Amino acid sequence: MRFLYESRLKDFGIPKEINKVRFKEQILSHFTEAQTQSDGKNVILVFEKGMQQLLKQAYNFNNKDDALVLSKAAKIVREEVAFSLMEALMIINSRSQCQQILSV
């Protein structure tokens, strides 16, 4: 996040290096509900209510709508393939009929 912030500053013509600790403290001062978690190298911000909302959305996600859309798409594809196949067969048939007529 700090790198993105520095990059954005550079876009505005402000080349500036940001202190990691102060930047984290500034972010935490703006988001009082945020908590930090670290794996030793990286620090991530965790929002309890944000995670709660994400989990609720994941739980309430309805796959039936996606299945319906995919079913309709598959039907359209099958119809297009069948139509293309029929056109190809008609062309082949007409060519063979023309050859029969010409050979007579």
Question: Could you tell me the residue ranges of all domains in the chain?
Answer: 2-57, 62-103
* pLDDT category of residue 64 using cuts at 50, 70 and 90: confident
- 13-52 pLDDT, tens digit per residue, is 888 888 888 888 888 887 777 788 888 888 887 877 776 7
Q: Which residues contact 33 (CB under 8 A, 6 or more apart)?
A: 47, 48, 49
